[in-house]
Chain A
């Protein structure tokens, strides 16, 4: 039992780059293509970490600190998120606040690194990222309050394992609405369609991709890896909700949790394949809808 948190942490560090691969495979399946291999991100990371770097004369240490700081934040958030029924590496009542704010720090580092280039494109992406994440925050917190009320606990490591099939039978609608809100937050925070399009770089409508336009080499590698870890970590929240299995054997629960993560990735891929990106002006409404869903869930709890 005591090794479980560490095993999960290392597993996540090793397997996180698979999630974007799964999403891309799903998209390729819908498009009738073969698509890149599931392990494509590993090849990319290997290539990037072997490269040199090119920096703009405009940039300062802020630009160079952005990617390492971002990865450090993602790693700390991962240490708080549990997989299956075992607690996370770090857990205490209130850790969910740390979880959310560490992602805030990650965003802050990325935005400032983008602004450091003095490029209008990157400024544009940074501005949108700041705006949309600010609106996603209430939805995330409200969904967590629902789960917290449901399970009477303040720690991710006790509230997610406490969600069981019995809980779903009892207050299914509330949990479903909270999960829906979390899914919207998952898509927004991970820069997926319908909020952001991870495929193109230079369209003026892009958010995250345009923010990292000037990064290359190991810096880009750190950013891509941190993004994969973030997707894994936020996915764990959803997986904990939608895969409410608690057998008592941690490795079985962990496997179920991993399957849940894969389901989340497939769902993101399906959304990406069958939907178009929303017009930017509509994105705030989507995020407000997510908050409204979580608020509705609040009324259905208990």
Chain B
């Protein structure tokens, strides 16, 4: 019970200590060491709660006039804490290796904010009071803001930080409104007393808006592809892998307060999930920047999670507990899975970026030979995020699919959203596969496309170790999925209204997953066996090495390879209506063509067409009020005096 506060204190204390250590080496050691220690303590607490099923609540002394310092951990909190701290600990280990490349820079602030981020996420996930929750929520936003602008000498990092700061502050407004309404209806700030009161629909919408802005639902995702790539890679992993999941946690927690959901809630989440999923993966396909691509994939995966929660809500609304249990379990398991493989992919991308000094996939290539460990881990992550068996992504999507197929067999009102879920998952699956074939293939396979890529070197052992552990976790959940379901089942039961029936449904699901994992294991063993057989066949026969078949062309160069842009082109063209891709072409001309070039760029549709104009309009409107702000202290004193006078008059009335 005390482990969670201990973890939070460990994070905060080690972060603070790291701040005051001048030597980058020791600063990293203290910061990362404290983060790992805190993560271990928190993981003990979370697993203890998940395995024993014992929820606890802790009231501590609090001197502020509103709110209370009380923490609680039920299965839902414990599940999210487990996913969050597992990735935080590994990212810290990786960061200790990664930050060495920032030689000559003070690393103290970076570690302080990293550990503060871990501490605030733990607090967000365990807070049982709305004031405490919102305070932790803001600390989390600010800590990650300072991490995003770590390389503040770069204009793009500053811009990303600005967009992030604005988005996250706007996102908190609906949450404030939601908590005020909830507090008004239930007469307190404590989570345990919350009831929906008169307008659960409004509360649901506010929760979707506020938590959706953090989670990255389209169109509230615009900060995500800006902020995640700008931060150092282990921070990107934590932000993309787990920080945005606090939004999912908030939404899930809020759903437990709002009472019985009407069908349109499920519909809303399914619609948001389908749009975010499909559009997220399409935008990802169009990117050349490896980390931006991964950030858009977070939007896609949040979409998948929303689809799962939507299936669950529909199951609750229409009174089919099996569907509800499958949907919630699938959505929540995808939270854990996405934390693992997205963390892994960002760490792998960081290693590649570290080695090649570029984020542009069209300037990489051939890294598999130079960085075999990183490459192998990245491939595991790529297969896992594309939901391919035998890895973990398939397991959670399988649960959502089965939930959707079950409701697709029922009457039309319930079947229609289920069919939307199935269709979007199928399309997302195909496009994600294409996108990760592109990312993994262009970065790690073929020949190096630039000098730096040719000189790349393997990542250090700290970085390799954390990637390896994440890759193993991806494989383990794929091959032992009933165990993973054991972890997620208590959390799914918190959301399901009829726990008894949910238990039965989850037991059934566990039996299914046992078969799925058996098939996945067969697949892995079979592939390994055939590989050995092939080697045995070739034993003693002539095995030659030569150049790639070039169709008789005598001087192939690495520049003739397909690039990431050309690989994605057929899909970009097929979905051209949804993507604002622009190309700048200087074609070769004349008999002796000299320079020619091709640049393509896909900006974010919503940032450019929606939020950009909206904010410009707001700026124009507010600039008309500029005359209020004179810059003279006397005038400001006059404002203060006038306001005080008005208030007095109003009081006298």
Contacts and interface: CB of A to CB of B under 8 A. Distances in A.
A52 B445 contact: no
A218 B538 contact: yes
B413 interface: no
B426 to A, nearest CB: 4
A154 B570 contact: no
A16 B548 CA distance: 31
Interface stretch (B168-176, B213-221, B301-309, B556-564): B556-564
B423 A141 contact: yes
B273 to A, nearest CB: 16
What is the interface of chain B mostly: helix, strand, loop, or mixed? helix
A134 B530 CA distance: 27
Contact of B534 (A60, A68, A127, A141): A68
Interface residues of B, number: 84
B442 A115 contact: yes
A9 interface: no
Contact of A58 (B434, B442, B447): B447
B402 A118 contact: no
B408 interface: yes
Nearest to A285: B574
A116 B367 CA distance: 11
B405 A94 contact: yes
Contacts of B511: 92
A104 B433 contact: yes
Contacts of B632: none
B519 interface: yes
Nearest to A110: B437
Given A117-B548, A137-B430, A123 B562 contact: yes
Contacts of B550: 119
A64 B568 contact: no
A65 B408 contact: no
A80 B520 CA distance: 12
B434 A130 contact: yes
A60 B369 contact: yes
Interface stretch (A32-40, A142-150, A250-258, A269-277): A142-150
A198 interface: no
Contacts of A200: none
B562 A120 contact: yes
Interface string B422-463: 110111011101101110111011110000000000000000
Contacts of A100: 426
Contacts of B422: 141-142, 145
A187 B538 CA distance: 33
A118 B568 contact: no
Contacts of B534: 64, 67-68, 218-219, 222
Given A53-B538, A118-B366, A123-B561, A154 B566 contact: no
B545 A56 contact: yes
A100 B405 CA distance: 14
A115 B368 CA distance: 12
Interface in A16-51: 49, 51
Interface of A: 49, 51-60, 62, 64-65, 67-69, 71-73, 75-76, 79-80, 90, 92-98, 100-102, 104-105, 107-108, 111-112, 115-124, 126-128, 130-131, 133-138, 140-142, 145, 148-149, 152, 154, 202, 213-214, 217-219, 222, 280-281, 284, 298
Interface of B: 365-366, 368-369, 375, 379, 383, 386-389, 394, 397-398, 401-402, 405-406, 408-409, 415, 419, 422-423, 425-427, 429-431, 433-434, 436-438, 440-442, 444-447, 511-512, 515-516, 518-519, 522-524, 526-531, 533-534, 537-538, 541-551, 558, 560-562, 566-571, 573-574
User: Top 9 nearest A-B pairs by Cβ distance?
Assistant: A123-B562, A134-B430, A118-B446, A115-B441, A68-B530, A130-B434, A72-B526, A52-B541, A52-B542
20 contacts: A55-B546, A56-B548, A60-B368, A60-B375, A67-B534, A69-B527, A80-B519, A97-B398, A101-B388, A108-B383, A112-B437, A115-B441, A122-B562, A127-B567, A127-B569, A131-B571, A133-B433, A145-B408, A222-B530, A281-B573
